Amino acid sequence: MDAKTYNILILCTGNSARSIMAEAIFNRLGKGLVSAYSAGSHPKGKVHPYAVDLLRHLGYPTQLFRSKPWDEFAAPGAPAMDFVFTVCDDAAGEVCPIWPGQPMRAHWGIPDPAAVTGTEALRRAAFADAYGRLYNRISVFLSLPIDSLDHLALKAKLDRIGETKD
C-alpha cells in the first residue's frame, strides 16, 4: 500500500466481538496505512468481555473500544470509507446505509464466538479462533498492491479473502 491512508469500516450485527477484534487488528497491522472503525446494525451496547480479555492479553489498548451503531458512520461529518467489510452473515444480509464515498464492500464471514456454548475454555478458544481468522485475512488484505489494481481485480481479491477456509 502506498502513502494514502484508507478508511475501513468493519460491520457486524452486535459490534461486540468480531468487528471489534478486526478493528484492533487493522489498526495495529496497518498503522499509518489504514484507519479502521467498527460498528453494528443492532449493537449490543458493550464489548464482549472475552474479546476485551483476549485483546488485552495480546497487548492491545482496550479502553476506547465501544459497541456502536453503524449510523454514526453514515452521518454528516463521518469519515468517508474506502472499504466496508461485514464479518457476520446477518450483517451481510441487511440493508446498509448509503456510505459516503461509495466504498468497496466485501463479506468476510467469521463464526460468532459469542454464540459458542460450553466450558469457559471452549468459549475462549472460539474467540482465539475468530481472532486468528481475522488476523490472517487482514494480513492478506494489507499485503495487496491496492493502488495498482483496477476496481474489478481488487473486488475479486477482496471476495477471495472472504472465501478462505482459514
As a whole number of angstroms, the distance between CA 119 and CA 122 comes to 5
**Among the options 58, 74, 96, 144, which is catalytic?**
96
As a whole number of angstroms, the distance between CA 114 and CA 18 comes to 9
**Among the options 88, 106, 110, 114, which is catalytic?**
88
**Which helix (H) or strand (E) segment is 36 a member of?**
strand 34-40
The question of whether 23 is a catalytic residue gets the answer no
CA atoms within 13 A of residue 48's CA, in its CB half-sphere: 21
The question of whether 96 is a catalytic residue gets the answer yes
As a whole number of angstroms, the distance between CA 166 and CA 163 comes to 9
Q: Which phi-psi region, left, alpha or beta, contains residue 155 (left: φ > 0; alpha: ψ -120 to 50)?
A: alpha
Catalytic positions are: 12, 88, 96
